[in-house]
Amino acid sequence: MKLELGKIKIDDIQFAEKTYVKDHVLYVNKEEVEELVLEDDKLIGCSLDIARPGDSTRITPVKDVIEPRVKVSGGEIFPGVVGKVTPSVGEGRTHALDGCCVVTVGRIVGFQEGVIDMSGPAADYCPFSKTVNLCVVIEPQEGLETHVYEKAGRMAGLKVAAYLGEAGRNVEPDTLETFETKPIFEQAAMYPDLPKVGYIHMLQSQGLLHDTYYYGVDAKQFVPTFMYPTEIMDGAIVSGNCVAPCDKVTTYHHFHNPVIEDCYKHHGKDINFMGVILTNENVFLADKERHSDMVAKLAEWMGLDGVLITEEGYGNPDTDLMMNCRKVEKKGVKVVLITDEFPGKDGKSQSLADTCDEADALASCGQGNATLQFPVMDKVIGTMDYIESQIGGWAGCVNEDGSFEAELQIIIASTIANGFNHLAAKGY
């Protein structure tokens, strides 16, 4: 599959009478966006706000972050959710409004929703402190079940991102990049002297607001499968979970998966990037065993020399991570894990809930239990009412002036380190 990705640089967002892009500014018709959101009768209120880098602004509780995109040719954006499912997802041409995001905010769904600070010490840990953000603040009907509210919020963000993306359809991109992965046997033959490397992408799928969607299907309903990386870059996977904010793979991160982006940078130079093995994170032991078996078989079938594995979340999914590692290594494929750690505030507890002898190469993204002081902000988009009950906060952590102390895991961020040096050290 070959995907052309055109990036249209956006430096600012302003409200206007119509929605369009001009001179690197995204102009937004506020009323049209609000009407689009309120088409869902589960939502009774919607307001828009803009947060810019450097502003004394805090956004919370954050549900999802989405980059506006449009399919110029070949399929539709967010297939199976907003657009139709077509075989050309991951092909053709897509335009992205680079540098801006849609951020969904509102009354809390579950305690695992996070914070974005546009300035101050927390901004250093969050990629969305550097983007211009259109915040969609939603108000649900009273008495909605949490999963119904989550879906309403998820769909609101995706619909707004698709609507804004249309503004870039006929705009000439500032940059145009091409990404291509050929069918498996053709790809293997292209660079016979380079190590064949794959990526095992573990999706959060534990239910109870811990879901991710693959072509509109809840990820816990599928078995491990092969994906072209460009399908993921083209919106085939969207976030739908309220997992710990520092671990949350937002829809933006699926578009911009750092492992996929780095693999393409190395592709044809020092590795042959063969594609993605998509799997999920299961609750029951039998499912963990079954799916890790399938992952190992796919890695063997692809003829891989090495793989990178990432997980979303921590605790229970650490067992899926270690099962995948152990079984893939036993197939003769070198494995490097990429994960963060939760060793407690003092750093003295076990960092991962599970381990195995084969997990001898790991790129750490740091620990989420470390605490940070969050200063007072001039403006709050959303509400601070839930800080003490959000994961990373605790009773009494908020001061009278609105400042607070919390663990880093309360910040919406997903930092994935580069694991190539570890793979090289293992001799692929």
Residues noted as catalytic = 242
C-alpha distances out from residue 119 to 177, 320, 386, 415, Å: 31, 36, 20, 18
Q: Which two tokens stand for residue 258?
A: 């750092």
What sign has the CA pseudo-torsion 303, 309, 311, 317? Answer: positive
Per DSSP, what are the bridge partners of residue 137? 47, 105
- 356 CA to centre of own chain: 27
- 3-state SS, 46-73, equals EEEEEECCCCCEEEEEEEEEECCEEEEE
Burial (Cβ within 10 Å: 0-12, 13-18, ≥19) of residue 91: buried
Q: Tokens 């939603």 correspond to what residue?
A: 138
Which of 212, 192, 193, 194 shows the shortest CA–CA distance to 202?
A: 212
334-341 and 362-367 strand pairing = parallel
Cis peptide before 61 (omega within 30 of 0): yes
In total, the chain counts a number of residues equal to 428
CB-based contact 201:251 (threshold 8 Å) = no
Q: Which two tokens stand for residue 358?
A: 């084969």
Burial 276-289 (b: 16+ CB within 10 A, else e): bbbbbbbeeeebbe
Q: What angle do CA 202, 253, 404 make, to 5 degrees?
A: 105
Order of strands across the sheet that contains 237-241: 217-218, 210-214, 237-241
State the CB neighbour count (10 A cutoff) for residue 178. 11
CB-based contact 188:196 (threshold 8 Å) = yes
CA-to-CA distance for 88 and 427, rounded, in angstroms?
A: 36
CA-to-CA distance for 24 and 39, rounded, in angstroms?
A: 30
